[in-house]
Structure 1
Amino acid sequence: MTHTNTLADPRVAAALERMFAEAGRDAARAVQGDRGTMTAGELADAMAEIYMPISAEGGRLLYTLVRAARPATVVEFGTSFGISTLYLAAAVRDNGAGRVVTTELSKDKIAAARRTFAETGLDDVITVLEGDARDTLAGLSEPVGFVLLDGWKDLYLPVLRLLEPRLAPGTLVAADDSTFDSVRPYLDHVRDPANGYQSVSFPVEDGIEISCRL
């Protein structure tokens, strides 16, 4: 039996190795958490050259979850340079069906991410939406089978609320950096049984909250 794992594809492995190395150099400069008084667009411009990636372990967790859930549509809030997108797209490719819809404000990051997606051969399963996710995702019509929240932390809850009408029972929602104070309103929402989720925190780097829509 042949076991397919696109993460082992030399093009994907090389791209991830390169981007994680660049992310390590950026770590000291990265601004995390609250946006302060800056608008999302202003902060996106200020951070246009900064990697703000998921960890490699977090990426493997996402790959595993998407392989198991086999969603038709994966939605990612916050492309950045596309590290997490590659893990999601690799899982979709190996499932044999589906697509990743990812959102990003920075034009420079989108251009760089699209080059990487083409280089890795995964661009055919990735759709990049440019602009504020609260606007671009509002036009999404199909059901959403898996969600990754990894953009600005204070927008996790608004983006989730926007997507909730499209989340079928069993849909998984992963929120990165769950230990950040600015994620607390989101956590309060998904951890309240009245809101229709079963939620558990994974101790991966800065935490990933995995919530199942009930």
Structure 2
Amino acid sequence: MSKQDYMNTSVQEPPLDYSFRSIHVIQDLTSEEPRSGLRPLRHSKSGKSLTQSLWLNNNVLNDLRDFNHVVSLLLEHPENLAWIDLSFNDLTSIDPVLTTFFNLSVLYLHGNSIQRLGEVNKLAVLPRLRSLTLHGNPIEEEKGYRALVGTMSPAIALAFLPLVVTLLVRYRHYFRLLVRMVLLRSLRDCLSGLRAEERAFSYVLTHALPGDPSHILNTLDHWSSHCEYLGHMGPVKGQILTRLVEEKTPACVLELGTHFGYSTLLLARALPPGGRLLTVERDPRMAAVAEKLIRLAGFDERTVELIVSSSEEVIPRLRTQYQLSRADLALLAHRPRCYLRDLQLLEAHALLPAGATVLADHVLFPGAPRFLQYAKNCGRYRCRLHHTGLPDFPAIKDGIAQLTYAGPG
């Protein structure tokens, strides 16, 4: 294949996609599998990809050391790289290595930590650059940023139309989730004056059997699939959670993030005789729904105690105020960005005994890369990832992380 033929065909190739992989250093690309898309990637006889697009967004990269070398190992023609997505990483500057790709036309750098507006001047040597994103960086606060964006807007507009078609096709499942989870829910909230979880509880009251947690859980699954998407743990993850609790037989369980009580019922149902569950929810309105659901399922306060407060305030008081000296199993199901903070709080207050199990939901979507990086590298945990999809959206990959605590070391 001639170079001109390659240029004509490779622009239509799907991207080499390493997004949402918790990648910390560029060298990790050589050991990671790219995400699969609608069309398979084509490769040369040497095994390298023929694409001109490389997506590294939503990772934890803070520099691009060895970028040229690694890209040459992945791409048959790295010099023809035309689209690089580095959005939502931890980059503090624009690495000069990016200026060596003279065919680069699309560069996404939004959602990083770039602080100096002067960094953008480095890209002036790229003759074909027509789309550059910088929003969500500290440079937004610098004088002159708005003027710079204004000069770029025509170029970005030219790139927008073909890109939106690609994104709509590739991420159609995410757009469907956005419509169901945000747009339709917001509309119904305004019309009814109730939250989706409150509407779901009203449905449970008229369709589920009181005192039967399994029937209540099935009723919630039916509501989420056929009426309003709840964004809950769902039956597939529920089976994983139930199996792990039954295997570990924990005497004391701590749940951070009650939400409306779905996962709480799963935990309570799987507790061994005499087991105790403390669950923490910071939203009073959501906690009120959960409290009703938990009691409707037949669990009293001796078995399931609901604490309405933020996790960072509760954890230091668990031993003295709530008489929880140890958590044999902890489920993190609140905000993924808080997982690492709360795990370290549990360690600092000696609430995790050796052999304790820590489960964390949504570690791939929306993702908790810093939490996973810490758990894998600190040397105090054995880690396993249970891969699943979102309820009703199996194409959107997610997972539950299972950590086994080895002790403070």
Pairwise TM-score range, normalised by the shorter structure: 0.7 to 0.9
CA RMSD in angstroms comes to: 1.7
> 2 CA distance for matches of 1:181 and 1:14?
29
Residues 181 and 87 (structure 1), Cα distance of their counterparts in 2 relative to 1, 3 Å cut: closer
Q: SS of the residue aligned with 1:191?
A: helix
Structure index of larger Rg: 2
Match of 1:20 in 2: 221
- Letter of the 1:166 counterpart: L
- Contact 1:52–1:80, Cα closer than 8 Å, also in 2: no
> 1 CA distance for matches of 2:316 and 2:223?
33
Match of 1:53 in 2: 232
| CA positional deviation for 1:10 | 6.9
> 1 CA distance for matches of 2:313 and 2:279?
13
- Letter of the 2:300 counterpart: D
Among residues 159, 170, 179, which one is paired with 2:355 in the alignment?
170
> 2 CA distance for matches of 1:13 and 1:196?
35
1:187 aligns with 2:369: no
Pairing of 1:134-213 with structure 2 (within 5 A): 134-141=312-319, 142-164=325-347, 165-180=350-365, 182-192=367-377, 194-205=378-389, 206-213=398-405
Deviations 1:13-56 (A, max 9, x none): 221122223334443xxxxxxxxxxxxxxxxxxxxxxx331121
> 1 CA distance for matches of 2:386 and 2:338?
21
Give the percent of matched residue pairs that are identical in Structure 1 and Structure 2.
26
> 2 CA distance for matches of 1:197 and 1:139?
24
Match of 1:112 in 2: 289
Residues 198 and 19 (structure 1), Cα distance of their counterparts in 2 relative to 1, 3 Å cut: same
- Contact 1:171–1:212, Cα closer than 8 Å, also in 2: yes
Q: SS of the residue aligned with 1:53?
A: coil
Q: SS of the residue aligned with 2:353?
A: strand
Q: SS of the residue aligned with 2:298?
A: coil
Match of 1:34 in 2: none
- Letter of the 2:332 counterpart: L
> 2 CA distance for matches of 1:135 and 1:176?
21
Residues 181 and 14 (structure 1), Cα distance of their counterparts in 2 relative to 1, 3 Å cut: closer
Deviations 1:98-151 (A, max 9, x none): 111111111121111111111111234111110111101221111110011111
Structure 1 unpaired stretches of 5+:
1-8, 28-50
Deviations 1:66-99 (A, max 9, x none): 112121211111101111000100111xx11211
Deviations 1:148-190 (A, max 9, x none): 1111110011111111221111111111111136400000011
- Letter of the 1:199 counterpart: C
- Structure with more contact order per residue of length (Cα contacts < 8 Å, sep ≥ 6): 1
What TM-score comes out, normalization by structure 2 length?
0.42
Q: SS of the residue aligned with 2:368?
A: helix
- Contact 1:114–1:123, Cα closer than 8 Å, also in 2: no
> 1 CA distance for matches of 2:366 and 2:273?
38
What TM-score comes out, normalization by structure 1 length?
0.78
Q: SS of the residue aligned with 1:103?
A: strand
Match of 2:311 in 1: 133
Q: SS of the residue aligned with 1:204?
A: strand
Residues 21 and 106 (structure 1), Cα distance of their counterparts in 2 relative to 1, 3 Å cut: farther
- Letter of the 1:159 counterpart: D
- Letter of the 2:345 counterpart: L
Match of 1:70 in 2: 249
- Contact 1:72–1:98, Cα closer than 8 Å, also in 2: yes
